[in-house]
């Protein structure tokens, strides 16, 4: 087993990292070896006693030589390049990372890099009727515009395989054990947070769908966004993704015809939000929690985890819009088979118009259609129209890929 370094600052000499758990060698595996249950009274509003029922304390890891890249370690990631007066730029993140990922992160030069932010603030958080709080535009936004970039309050593995090394437990008990462990991990993370970040985390809503979870895990599951997308946590297959919970990005509400797209950027260690079409001042900013290319009934099922039935413009009429949505997907596939020429131009023009009418610019088919049109007009040497489509394409490229350079 390779020897690993148990302190982030010694990985890179980067002083942006505070320390691992209180400076001790408290690395723990997914199974949380060696981490003592925190005292519930230390975290306001959190009750954990019922989750300690299945918590089994295991021997503490004795030395760094026992570490594996799969070990998980608590890490505080601090940026020294944020403006403390800007509440939208959290500069402290509590992270639970496997050591291989942590090493990869801190081997990047100048990690974490400076956040790219809108020159003029573009959003506010405000009541959104029956949806609770939501995010609203404070100025006119065009497709591709950056609305917000933010460092997460926490980052942690989104899933965990069931423990098989705990004797005499049924599958149900193993599942409960896993939930209790993850609740305990979040307890530790919250205890390490600043009061401001902890309050922000505890103020987030939790879906009743996650009633089997502890209160902290329910919040993480209700409000998590994909993070560290290029890293797989500890080779654990479908469990191997990371999720981040944010103060503001986690306030965004869902729409099946969203006007914005979320992206993760590892170099700046942040999530960002960009418009995919024009957004007017006062308009709610929405993103998609589920795949847009699904039928109404499937989308509603997929959204159950968030505890609501969608009433967005596409869902108001129930499955009435399904036929149009499915036809767009069918026609997008058909258009990709059309040889270049007038027929191709006609097919993609129709597709782009219908996608925009349905508010489905966040579909990858929209980006593909813009690309084909730009290529078509370059091919027929209509430079003006080619440039017009290339401009749209650039904007959508920023939005869909979250390229940090454009504001």
- Buried/exposed 150-163: b ≥16 CB within 10 Å, e otherwise: bbbbbbbbbbbbeb
Residue pair 8/102 in contact (Cβ under 8 Å)? The answer is yes
Phi, psi of 25 (to 5 degrees): -90, 70
Question: 117 to 136, contacts with Zn ion by CB under 5 A?
Answer: none
Per rule CB under 5 A, is residue 360 in the interface with Zn ion?
A: no
Per rule CB under 5 A, is residue 335 in the interface with Zn ion?
A: no
Residue pair 100/117 in contact (Cβ under 8 Å)? The answer is no
Pick the closer one to Zn ion by CB: 294 or 403.
294
Residue 189 Ramachandran class (φ > 0 left, ψ -120 to 50 alpha, else beta): alpha
Pick the closer one to Zn ion by CB: 196 or 356.
356
Q: Cα separation of 259 and 21, whole Å?
A: 40
Element (H, E) at 101: helix 99-106
Pick the closer one to Zn ion by CB: 97 or 310.
310
Pick the closer one to Zn ion by CB: 125 or 312.
312
CB of 249 to Zn ion, least distance (A): 20
Binding span for Zn ion by CB under 5 A among 3-11, 22-30, 268-276, 313-321: 313-321
Q: Cα separation of 104 and 345, whole Å?
A: 45
Pick the closer one to Zn ion by CB: 72 or 315.
315
x-marked contacts with Zn ion along 260-299 as a string, rule CB under 5 A: ----------------------------------------
Residue pair 64/25 in contact (Cβ under 8 Å)? The answer is yes
CB of 290 to Zn ion, least distance (A): 9
Cα Rg of the chain (Å, integer)? 23
Element (H, E) at 242: strand 242-245
Per rule CB under 5 A, is residue 362 in the interface with Zn ion?
A: no
- Buried/exposed 360-372: b ≥16 CB within 10 Å, e otherwise: bbbbebbbebbbb
Per rule CB under 5 A, is residue 312 in the interface with Zn ion?
A: yes
Rule CB under 5 A: choose which of 315, 347, 386, 396 binds Zn ion. 315
Pick the closer one to Zn ion by CB: 166 or 312.
312
CB of 278 to Zn ion, least distance (A): 20
Q: Cα separation of 246 and 248, whole Å?
A: 6
Binding span for Zn ion by CB under 5 A among 72-80, 254-262, 340-348, 375-383: 254-262
Pick the closer one to Zn ion by CB: 36 or 297.
297
Per rule CB under 5 A, is residue 256 in the interface with Zn ion?
A: yes
Q: Cα separation of 46 and 37, whole Å?
A: 13
Q: How many residues of this chain interact with Zn ion, rule: CB under 5 A? A: 5
CB of 293 to Zn ion, least distance (A): 13
CB of 251 to Zn ion, least distance (A): 18
Alpha helices in 24-122 (DSSP H): 99-106
Pick the closer one to Zn ion by CB: 184 or 288.
288
Residues engaged in binding Zn ion (CB under 5 A): 256, 310, 312, 314-315
């Amino acid at each position: 087993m390779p020897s690993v370094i148990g302190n982030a600052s010694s990985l890179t000499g980067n002083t942006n990292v505070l320390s691992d758990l209180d400076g001790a060698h408290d690395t723990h595996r997914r199974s949380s070896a060696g981490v003592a249950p925190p005292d519930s009274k230390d975290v306001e509003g959190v009750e954990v006693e019922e989750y300690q029922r299945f918590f089994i304390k295991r021997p503490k890891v004795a030395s760094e030589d026992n570490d594996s890249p799969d070990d998980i370690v608590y890490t505080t990631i601090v940026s020294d390049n944020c403006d403390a007066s800007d509440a939208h730029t959290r500069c402290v993140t509590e992270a639970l990372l496997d050591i291989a990922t942590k090493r990869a992160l801190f081997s990047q030069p100048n990690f974490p890099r400076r956040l790219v932010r809108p020159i003029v603030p573009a959003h506010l958080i405000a009541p959104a009727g029956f949806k609770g709080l939501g995010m609203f535009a404070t100025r006119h936004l065009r497709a591709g515009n950056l609305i917000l970039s933010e460092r997460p309050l926490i980052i942690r593995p989104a899933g965990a395989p069931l423990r098989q090394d705990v004797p005499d437990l049924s599958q149900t008990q193993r599942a409960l054990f896993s939930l209790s462990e993850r609740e305990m991990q979040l307890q530790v993370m919250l205890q390490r947070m600043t009061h401001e970040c902890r309050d922000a985390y505890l103020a987030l809503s939790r879906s009743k769908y996650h009633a089997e979870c502890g209160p902290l895990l329910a919040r993480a599951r209700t409000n998590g966004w994909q993070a560290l997308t290029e890293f797989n946590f500890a080779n654990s297959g479908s469990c191997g993704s990371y999720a981040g919970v944010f103060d503001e990005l986690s306030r965004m509400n869902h729409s099946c015809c969203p006007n914005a797209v979320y992206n993760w950027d590892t170099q700046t260690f942040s999530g960002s939000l960009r418009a995919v079409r024009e957004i007017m001042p006062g308009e709610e900013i929405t993103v998609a929690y589920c795949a847009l290319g699904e039928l109404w009934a499937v989308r509603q099922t997929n959204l159950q985890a968030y505890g609501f039935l969608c009433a967005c413009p596409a869902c108001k009429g129930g499955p009435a819009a399904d036929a149009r949505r499915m036809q767009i997907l069918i026609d997008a596939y058909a258009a990709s088979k059309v040889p270049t020429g007038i027929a191709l131009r006609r097919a993609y023009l129709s597709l782009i118009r219908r996608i925009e009418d349905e508010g489905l610019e966040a579909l990858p088919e929209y980006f593909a259609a813009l690309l084909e049109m730009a290529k078509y007009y370059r091919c027929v040497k209509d430079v003006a129209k080619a440039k017009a489509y290339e401009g749209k394409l650039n904007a959508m490229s920023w939005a869909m890929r979250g390229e940090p350079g454009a504001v």
